[in-house]
Structure 1
Amino acid sequence: MAESYTGDAYCVKCKEKKNFTGEVKVSDSGRRMAQGICPTCGTKLNRILGKA
């Protein structure tokens, strides 16, 4: 089961922070990152998370 994340991230297209819901992914180097979609413009949002 994929871990979900609810919080805010900066949208480059809207140029402001937006609340989003997305899923947490782990990169090859072990970094955790939340990926979701901006509710306003539909751009992909990314937020790097701390260690678990």
Structure 2
Amino acid sequence: MAQTSTSTYNGYCVKCREKRDFEGKVEEKSGRRMAKGVCPVCGTKMTRILGKES
């Protein structure tokens, strides 16, 4: 169920309080697709909820 494709996504870093591009892996958990990665500046975990796969 979990995909391991690495791509660049744009997300909001809560610690930096800015939108940043991050490299993340797409994971699917309980029907939700999300990209999970790390902020390139501060190292905080970042997530972005994605739409349905087309």
Structure 1 runs of 4+ aligned residues shifted over 4 Å read none
- Counterpart CA distance in 2 for 1:5 and 1:50 is 15
Amino-acid identity (%): 55
Q: Which residue of 2 aligns with 1:24?
A: 26
1: distance between equivalents of 2:50 and 2:6?
A: 12
- Could you tell me which runs of 5 or more consecutive residues in structure 2 were left unpaired when the two chains were aligned: none
Q: How many residues align?
A: 51
| Cα RMSD, aligned residues only | 1.1
Return the offset for 1:19: 0.5
Paired with 1:24 and 1:5, the residues of 2 have a C-alpha distance of: 8
